[in-house]
Structure 1
Amino acid sequence: MRKWYEVIQGPKLQVPNLLWRGVAPPKAQFLSWLAWRGRVKTISLLQRFRALSSNVENLCLCPFCKLETESVDHILLQCSEIWKVWSSMLQWWGVSWSIPATVDGVLLWWLGTKFKKSVVRIWRLVPIAMLWSVWRLRNECVFKGNQSNMDELGEIVKVRVGLWAKSGLPKFHYSVHDVVANLNQGMLLADLFESGMIKGSMPYAVCSQDVVNGVLSCFRSIDSSDCWIKIVYKFYGEL
């Protein structure tokens, strides 16, 4: 029965696993689940349920762009200001995309993007951190009158990903700063460990000179010998 349901539903069946089986805080997971189901209490949803008058035009607009009606997909994804932050998250990972039109589409796309097992758990924290951070900023703008700062929002999302990974993932050997500022280097090391090209455990590992030549462009200095070297990985991406 389950296999038949998987065939009918396809990747949609995996979205709850993305949202609920990670290490993000329960509140962020729940908000992301509501967004996926289209149940976040935006202005358009409240008006649909007749919990808010449709005559208050100023309240209906997105607090970020102030151009479109605030719907779930608009406030969390389609708004031109928020879209820029999503794009910066993809640049952070070195990934390009054609932005989906819905939150459901984003989560399905996220599931379909392949990374090494060692980093995919961090990758899957990003959309949850993004949805949670955008909604919190939205509430601060609406209820406290704060001004939105999209550059700051992007950094907050990265820090949240780093904090959640650091506190929740077993054998996570990087600092929050490593995740925020040196993500590509950390992913490279994780790939080398997983492939077996580097042997040992963080922060000490042994690898061949050929591997050293491949990572020299990413790291500043290295203590090498003729055939084998010891890499001493420190915080902040230094060796």
Structure 2
Amino acid sequence: MVEPKHIASKDNRRIKELKKLQLKKYRKKQGLFLIEGAHLVEEAIRHDQEVHTLIALEDYDYSPYVTEGMEVITVTPGVMKLLSSLETPPGIMAAVSYRKPQPDGRHVLLLDGIQDPGNLGTLLRTADAFGFDRVILSPDTVDPFSDKVLRSAQGSTFHIEITVADALQSVREFDGRVLGTSLDGAAFLEQMELPEGPVMVVLGNEGRGVSEEVLSNVDVKMKIDMPGGSESLNVAIAGGIIMHHFRA
């Protein structure tokens, strides 16, 4: 095991470097992101993510999480609070590089412009639950490696392949049935038969829905039958209903 380094100063250069990972541009530049709490650290290690740096409170037993060659830093509560995005910081966090799993790609979720981190995290977790092992995000979708998305996904980030790609191109190139959500000219989900081959479900932005350009290229437009008084559903709720219907 690499000898741990103790850091007590918030002005330490290494701490400043790690804190920059709270910003998307530095996450992208470094190819790293921060995860917080024992559960996410355990999930990252279990699913073969590359954990570069383990950061633990000075009195925290981090030994179960250490692997050969891993940088280990112990810090004071003040330094941990600086690095954490939580009101009550955990005892452990890590800087990680994302390694994509190898999915079979028969059940794909495409997200076109999702903006709310909680919605994205919930959709990733739901995709994982129902066997949608590949998720494609349009470039204008919120960063999947931001702290709020990671917490909401609860480790599912490491179970599925997440790719950022042009939505229209992804729809056109998909070798299977593409189903997009729409309120106009759409068939009810409950009346649709399950496709025999690969299927892609397309969900859109919380306000505008799936873009017209993308929607004009799907094979089938679908909507959820809602006999109650509500006119619409939260995109994460709608996504859960649809993915359960077409589950692997």
With normalisation by structure 2, the TM-score equals: 0.25
With normalisation by structure 1, the TM-score equals: 0.25
Q: Which has a greater percent of strand?
A: 2
Relative contact order, higher structure (CA 8 A, sep 6+): 2
